[in-house]
Amino acid sequence: MMELAISALISGLVLLVWSADRFVEGSAATARYFGMPPLLIGMVIVGFGTSAPEMVVSALAAFQGNPGIALGNAYGSNIANIALILGVTALISPIMVHSTVLRKELPILTLLTALSVILLADLELTRWDAILLLLVFGCLMAWTIHQGLKQKTDSLAKEVKTTIAEKAMPIKRAVFWLVVGLVLLIASSRILVWGAVEIAHIFNVSDMIIGLTIVAVGTSLPELASSIIAIRKGEHDIALGNVLGSNLFNTLAVVGIAGTIHPFAVEPETLSRDMVVLGVLTVSLFLIGYGFRGRQGRINRFEGIVLLLVYAGYTACLIRKVILVQAG
């Protein structure tokens, strides 16, 4: 049973990442064929698409009565996005942080992280809590699209336009990959969740631990790939925007969808350990990104190493808990 569960987990992750990429390509090409502006394709389709693994996995986990995987996947992905993905990306090339990120995106993400803590303070995610998160997400998306259309320029829109031109495909093929990608997303998520639950049962650990580690890292792979590609092309806005956008999506939409499907109790350690780490990492981006003495803010290689060490330490704490459970 152990071998089967591990095989399901690995194959589910691989298929999940591959199908998410096909889904994004098919969706973007289809939208472009019907005349959707590149800006909206970038904000809506690509934005949703890169977070589709977290959304589908958490939704299925909640539907099947495994809330630990649903919540652990969302917050674990947020931690991995900042500490692991930005850390790896910064090692490849320092990431420039523009002032607009410090003035708009980061404050919003910090406030929403604080909102999550407030909603989970009673150690329960109710359906009303989840609906509130989805309403905030809807308002934020509407405001973001409105601002983007007013400015009519966006680096993500340029990147999307270039990508679509490079990967132009006939409408039939685009719709085919849209449908097949979505079907495989759901199928691979079911395989992944089953494998994760079985491994949790075998090692007698909570679903939350599995969700925070293996599942979270696996579903964050699309963001890692797109951030590395963006930084190699010198698109620092896209590299950082992928992470911030994904964290906003996870905090609001992923947790909101899971909680709407199945309200659930929250482990105390989620607040005392995971949300503390997530909050510190989010606030640390202000300090890292702020430019001193006229220097533009950036996440350099040293700071990238620090982020990776933080993630290694956090993961070590989770592994230690698993060992203690086994020893007990």
Complete DSSP assignment for 38-55: HHHIIIIIIHHHHTHHHH
Mean pLDDT, range 24-50, rounded to an integer: 68
Maximal CA-CA distance, the chain: 60
The confidence score (pLDDT) of residue 201 equals 81
Residue 124 in contact with residue 266, Cβ under 8 Å?
yes
DSSP letter (8 states) at residue 95:
E
Residue 238: half-sphere exposure toward Cβ, Cα within 13 Å: 26
Measured distance CA(99)–CA(296) in Å, rounded: 8
Q: What's the mean pLDDT when you consider all of the chain?
A: 82
How many C-beta atoms surround the C-beta of residue 325 within 10 A?
13
**What would the pLDDT profile of 10-21 be if each residue is shown by its tens digit?**
898 888 878 877
Range of the domain at 220: 2-327
Residue 159 in contact with residue 230, Cβ under 8 Å?
yes
Residues whose CB is less than 8 angstroms from the CB of residue 194 and which lie 6 or more positions away in sequence, other chains included: 5, 8, 12
Q: What does residue 51 show for φ and ψ, rounded to 5 degrees?
A: -100, 5
How many C-beta atoms surround the C-beta of residue 104 within 10 A?
13
Q: Strands, DSSP E only, in 177-286?
A: 264-265
Confidence of residue 79 (pLDDT cuts 50, 70, 90): very high
Greater confidence, 255 or 45? Answer: 255
**What would the pLDDT profile of 143-178 be if each residue is shown by its tens digit?**
877 776 666 555 444 444 444 444 567 888 888 888
Which among 326, 33, 296, 19 is positioned nearest to 184, based on CA atoms?
A: 19
Mean pLDDT, range 89-102, rounded to an integer: 80
**What would the pLDDT profile of 119-140 be if each residue is shown by its tens digit?**
999 999 999 999 999 999 999 8
pLDDT at 304 over 50: yes
Complete DSSP assignment for 281-302: HHHHHHHHHPPPTTPPPEE-HH
Residue 137 in contact with residue 253, Cβ under 8 Å?
yes
Domain count, the chain: 1
> In terms of pTM, does the model score above 0.75?
yes
The confidence score (pLDDT) of residue 37 equals 63
Q: Domain of 153: which CATH number?
A: 1.20.1420.30
Which among 131, 146, 129 is positioned nearest to 40, based on CA atoms?
A: 146
